[in-house]
Structure 1
Amino acid sequence: MTFRIPRRPRLGACRPVLSSATLVAAIVSAAPARAQQEDGQLWLQANTNVPLADKLRITLEQIARFSDRQKGLYQSELGGLLGYRVADNVELGFGYRWVGAHNGNTGANENRIRQQVVATFGPVTTRFRVDERFNPRGSEIGFRIRQLVRYNHKIGKKGVALFVSHESFFLPNTTSWGQRSGYERMRNLVGVAVPIGKAMSADIGYLNQYRFGRGGARPQMDHALSVQLTINLRGLVAPNVHD
């Protein structure tokens, strides 16, 4: 009886399989590097609306944002905005804001000028805003377009309301100091609006901010507890939107 020793398989026949396995391994090993970052945050804001004339008001704004990943306060904002009511449900706004970077925030302090249109249609409020960003790391002006829509659903007769809102951020130009054109981020917010006395109200909710991964950067999702206090002096009634 004759026994035949099986021939060793040729490496050439295995190369497609080996190449595929290598490619899959490379993709799997690279996936964690591209996975989104997540962060727990706390956003605080206080707005004071002061009437200056029949259709004119000024809003004084203070903002503080805290981050787990950046170990505390990472951004503060101070600003003011003039609002002029051109119709019962439409208001034009022009303002200035200083933005400060703290702790693990690698951004620079910025000066920003803003123009906006706020319109209210029953339970729906919309805001279209354009920001001009002035950054000390470069001479170019960074333009930013923000579109917000908010829906309020009243509960009972005491002024309490549930609300949801969405805001998209579009950057029309690229700058040498770091702004890159494109759809940059979106914010989604769900919460409850509660009156506190006759002149104050609080918006308390969960805010989800998603920054798209662009230019090789990883995408980032922020989960924030958002608390906004609004004070309306002298009986002023102003549209309430989140910043």
Structure 2
Amino acid sequence: MIAAGRLLPLLRILSPVLGLAGASLPAAAQVDHDGQLWINATAFGSIGSFAVFAEVQPRFGEGIANLDQLILRPAVGWKITDAVTVYQGYARVENTPLGQRAFAEDRSFQQVGWEIGTVERVKLSSRTRFEQRLQTNGRDTGFRLRQMLRAAVPLTDETRGVAALAWTEAFVALNDTDWGAKAGFDRVRAFIGLEVPLAGKSTVEVGYTNQTVNAPASRVTMDHILSVSLFVRQ
């Protein structure tokens, strides 16, 4: 049986960061809302210290009526320690916004994943990603830094039971580009949901993601996202 008290450590740790979306809104900004569906399938593998992952992410917006974005993202890495893995990866992003011209983005990225440890039954991990972005509607290279903090707390006494899950990720653009990126705060995401174990080490995560984006002309978009993520692990 799930005890409500099991959630208290998770809430104490993440309550400040789960408020980032609201706190990041400029005071005078106009906010546009959208309901979305994001699906993610990621496969992980490793041989010794060598690591690899590949993911595909279709994202539906405009009230989930339109495939706004499709991301293909493979990466290869090296386990420095049992807790720290570094990756070099590439992402191809196809953007098809409703009523606008389609465009694509190519991203090279470097990533550091860190399994921080367990605090008061809460398993903490982080991901730092540095991206170099090129878009077909411009010639500049955009540089962006992303930082994620993830926390999970088991809801049962089983070795691999259901866990409550929350994470937040902040995005900071490091320069202006001719295709629209502006240096400074870019967006922040906050997720809350469940992590459900599958066969072997695989899991599925289902929950709600709030994304707040700093859009042009003093506008802000806030996306309310149903997120379904499948993680297949070796």
Common fold, TM-score beyond 0.5?
Answer: yes
Shift of residue 49 of structure 1? 1.0
The answer to which of 150-159 and 56-65 deviates more is 150-159
- 1:121 maps to what in 2? 116
Q: 1:106 to 1:185 in 2, by over 3 A?
A: farther
- 1:25 maps to what in 2? none
Query: d(CA) in 1 for partners of 2:71 and 2:65?
Result: 18
Shift of residue 196 of structure 1? 1.4
- 1:229 maps to what in 2? 230
Say whether the 8 Å CA contact 1:48–1:230 is kept in structure 2. yes
RMSD between superposed Cα atoms in Å: 1.7
Q: Which amino acid aligns with 2:52?
A: I
1:111 aligns with 2:122: no
Q: Which amino acid aligns with 1:196?
A: L
Q: Which has the larger radius of gyration?
A: 1
Shift of residue 68 of structure 1? 2.4
Q: 1:106 to 1:169 in 2, by over 3 A?
A: farther
SS in 1 for 2:219: coil
Query: d(CA) in 1 for partners of 2:126 and 2:74?
Result: 20
Shift of residue 138 of structure 1? 2.2
Shift of residue 103 of structure 1? 4.5
Which one of 189, 193, 205 corresponds to residue 203 of structure 1? 205
- 2:196 maps to what in 1? 194
Which one of 145, 155, 159 corresponds to residue 161 of structure 2? 159
Stretches of 4+ moved more than 6 A in 1?
none
Query: d(CA) in 2 for partners of 1:200 and 1:172?
Result: 35
Deviations 1:120-173 (A, max 9, x none): 122110111101101122221100100110111012213321111111000010
Q: Which amino acid aligns with 1:172?
A: L
Shift of residue 197 of structure 1? 1.5
Query: d(CA) in 1 for partners of 2:102 and 2:183?
Result: 17
- 2:39 maps to what in 1? 44
Shift of residue 60 of structure 1? 1.1
Q: 1:131 to 1:58 in 2, by over 3 A?
A: same
Shift of residue 200 of structure 1? 2.3
Deviations 1:22-41 (A, max 9, x none): xxxxxxxxxxx953100000
Q: Which amino acid aligns with 2:231?
A: T
- 1:73 maps to what in 2? 67
Unpaired runs of at least 5, structure 1:
1-32, 234-243
Query: d(CA) in 2 for partners of 1:67 and 1:102?
Result: 10
State the identity as a percent: 31
Unpaired runs of at least 5, structure 2:
1-27, 118-122
Say whether the 8 Å CA contact 1:70–1:103 is kept in structure 2. no
1:84 aligns with 2:86: no
Say whether the 8 Å CA contact 1:203–1:227 is kept in structure 2. yes
Say whether the 8 Å CA contact 1:160–1:192 is kept in structure 2. yes
- 2:22 maps to what in 1? none
Query: d(CA) in 1 for partners of 2:187 and 2:97?
Result: 22
Say whether the 8 Å CA contact 1:71–1:103 is kept in structure 2. no
Query: d(CA) in 1 for partners of 2:80 and 2:29?
Result: 48
Q: Which amino acid aligns with 2:35?
A: G
Q: Which amino acid aligns with 2:151?
A: Y
